[in-house]
């Protein structure tokens, strides 16, 4: 067998994310877009969005705008896209369909493709005949001369055939008896026996190209230097390499990303896994499937989490902003094996990013997300956020910290039984009356607690636990001194009086 090796040429970096608008953007697609974006930025290149919508039978109205809005929410900005046109447009394949026929015919002219007249019924019959004998039917180098195509027809006969029929397709003519060797940046060297390959359809009878032809032609015309995509496209790589060879074009660098796996680690993460586990798999809500945004996840946290699903920075650091990731990301640190989706880890990232964001940013997001802050004025709301932000997993959890907004209506019976004593009302009333200012700060309150306990010979436990019950209704919540400073002396006194009445 002859051997053919592919070498890559260095060019100014141009990377693309090229989804099909057949539905919502899966979280795996988000990670693919993210890795392309990060590599483009690290290399000082361009990142573009191309919509591959040639398969009109699977086109879903609204899917393209959903993809664009998802990337925008996550901060993954494209330099060129269907709306922000660059010098390589159009950026929708449906608007480029006239040029693909030209390239398909060029392949025929150069003996790299041929017309195929086999009907779907004929091919299905051959598949069943092969299956009956335990074989697999393959339309390729070893049997195409026996099938209904143009390879055995002279020019006159072919012209008549084309004129009399409209049910033909154009197939790629895979080289026979070769070993194709090429390199995937993540997976290393790959070898393929060309006799095991199909002669894939490049141009359909409806006048539209298949994914393979359109994808390669567009990547070349848009000067894409790196093709970074999911591993589900790995079986197509040999054909795409051969198409570059047939056109005599320089091939880009290819890298196929590992799968995002189910929480169990077994199999690809799906929408059903999200439904079963109670977590999203789409960035934004799509129909009845709630998205990460609407579930209370911050975009910075989701980006941070996804970046580490299959890639490592090379050290133990875990928290990265998008700009920080763009400075260090490389394909060389992307792993081959799948990465397990870990909801607990995502929740950890979300909590960490809530703590990292400023109170002003969080308040703005509360307003955008219509999170209930029970009518607090902005300054008071900022203080409430600062008080409990280190306790939140999702920003919307602040609404559950009801003691921030109104006095407790019930009291934890187990806590009361253990902590509320006969002398408790007198201790609490004496304590709160001893605070000088109605709006004392946390330091002043801390000092008052210490002094009160010393002067009254009371242990801290006799004061703090029942005080927390009176203010919160249970033994949870932030530090008592900070909570008193937030609520103010008057509100705290009112809550203590309510608790004394309720618990006597």
**Residue pointed to by tokens 């040429």:** 9
User: How many C-beta atoms surround the C-beta of residue 268 within 10 A?
Assistant: 16
Geometric angle at alpha carbon 222, from 50 and 106, rounded to 5°: 110
First-to-last CA distance in the chain? 94
**Residue pointed to by tokens 């006095």:** 407
Question: Catalytic residue among 101, 271, 345, 442, which?
Answer: 271
Instruction: Judge whether 311 and 292 are in contact, CB under 8 Å.
Output: no
Is position 345 annotated as part of the catalytic site?
Answer: no
User: How many C-beta atoms surround the C-beta of residue 1 within 10 A?
Assistant: 12
Q: What does the chain come to in residues?
A: 504
Q: Alpha helix locations (H) across 308-391?
A: 322-328, 343-356, 359-368, 378-388
Q: How far is CA 288 from CA 39, 282, 444, 465, in A?
A: 34, 11, 51, 44
Euclidean distance between CA atoms 271 and 83, whole angstroms: 29
Characterize the bridge pairing of strands 226-230 and 201-203.
unpaired
**Residue pointed to by tokens 């060129």:** 80
Q: Which tokens is 491 given?
A: 């509100």
Characterize the bridge pairing of strands 260-261 and 188-193.
unpaired
Q: Which tokens is 26 given?
A: 């899966």
Euclidean distance between CA atoms 317 and 327, whole angstroms: 14
Instruction: Judge whether 163 and 173 are in contact, CB under 8 Å.
Output: no
Query: 3-class DSSP state for residue 22?
Result: coil
Asked whether the CA dihedral 430, 436, 442, 444 is positive or negative, the reply is negative
Q: How far is CA 464 from CA 141, 409, 446, 468, 488, in A?
A: 83, 20, 11, 6, 17
Q: Which residues pair with 170 in a beta bridge?
A: 115, 203
Asked whether the CA dihedral 384, 386, 388, 389 is positive or negative, the reply is positive
Euclidean distance between CA atoms 94 and 206, whole angstroms: 13
Ramachandran category for residue 187: left, alpha or beta (phi over 0 → left; psi -120 to 50 → alpha):
alpha
| CB-count burial class (<10 Å; 0-12, 13-18, 19+) for 127 | middle
Report, in angstroms and rounded to the nearest whole number, the Rg of the chain calculated over CA atoms. Answer: 32
**Residue pointed to by tokens 């026929």:** 101
Euclidean distance between CA atoms 447 and 481, whole angstroms: 9
Residues with a known catalytic role: 271
């Amino acid at each position: 067998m002859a051997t053919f090796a592919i070498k890559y040429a260095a060019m100014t970096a141009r990377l693309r994310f090229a989804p099909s608008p057949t539905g919502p953007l899966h979280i795996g697609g988000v990670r693919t877009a993210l890795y392309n974006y990060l590599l483009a930025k690290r290399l000082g290149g361009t990142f573009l969005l191309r919509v591959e919508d040639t398969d009109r039978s699977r086109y879903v109205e609204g899917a393209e705008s959903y993809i664009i809005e998802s990337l925008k929410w996550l901060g993954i900005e494209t330099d060129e896209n269907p709306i922000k046109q660059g010098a390589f447009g159009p950026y929708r394949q449906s608007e480029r369909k006239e040029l693909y026929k030209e390239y398909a015919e060029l392949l025929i002219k150069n003996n790299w493709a041929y017309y195929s007249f086999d009907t779907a019924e004929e091919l299905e019959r051959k598949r069943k005949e092969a299956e009956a004998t335990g074989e697999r039917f393959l339309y390729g180098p070893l049997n195409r001369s026996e099938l209904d195509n143009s390879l055995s027809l002279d020019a006159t006969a072919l012209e008549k055939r084309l004129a009399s029929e409209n049910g033909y397709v154009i197939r790629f003519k895979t080289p026979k008896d070769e070993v194709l060797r090429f390199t995937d940046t993540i997976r290393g060297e790959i070898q393929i026996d060309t006799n095991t390959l199909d002669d894939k359809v490049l141009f359909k009878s409806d006048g539209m190209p298949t994914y393979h032809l359109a994808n390669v032609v567009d990547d070349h015309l848009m000067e894409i230097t790196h093709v970074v995509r999911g591993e589900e496209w790995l079986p197509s790589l040999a054909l795409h390499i051969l198409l570059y060879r047939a056109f005599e074009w320089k091939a880009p660098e290819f890298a196929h990303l590992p799968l995002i796996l189910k929480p169990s680690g077994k199999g690809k993460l799906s929408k059903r896994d999200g439904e079963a586990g109670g977590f999203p798999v789409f960035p934004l809500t799509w129909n009845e499937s709630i998205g990460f945004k609407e579930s209370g996840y911050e975009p910075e946290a989701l980006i941070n989490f996804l970046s580490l699903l299959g890639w490592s920075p090379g050290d133990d650091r875990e928290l990265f902003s998008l700009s920080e990731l763009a400075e260090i990301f490389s394909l060389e640190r992307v792993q081959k094996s799948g990465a397990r989706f870990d909801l607990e880890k995502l929740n950890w990232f979300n909590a960490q990013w809530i703590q990292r964001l400023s109170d002003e940013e969080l308040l703005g997001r509360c307003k955008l997300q219509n999170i209930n802050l029970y009518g607090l004025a902005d300054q008071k709301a900022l203080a409430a956020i600062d008080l409990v932000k280190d306790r939140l997993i999702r920003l919307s959890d602040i609404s559950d910290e009801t003691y921030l907004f109104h006095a407790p209506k019930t009291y934890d019976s187990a806590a009361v039984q253990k902590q509320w004593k006969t002398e408790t009302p007198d201790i609490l009333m004496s304590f709160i009356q001893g605070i000088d200012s109605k709006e004392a700060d946390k330091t002043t309150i801390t000092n008052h607690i210490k002094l009160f306990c010393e002067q009254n010979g009371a242990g801290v436990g006799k004061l703090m636990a029942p005080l927390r019950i009176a203010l919160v209704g249970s033994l949870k919540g932030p530090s008592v001194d900070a909570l008193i400073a937030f609520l103010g002396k008057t509100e705290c006194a009112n809550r203590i009086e309510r608790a004394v009445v309720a618990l006597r």
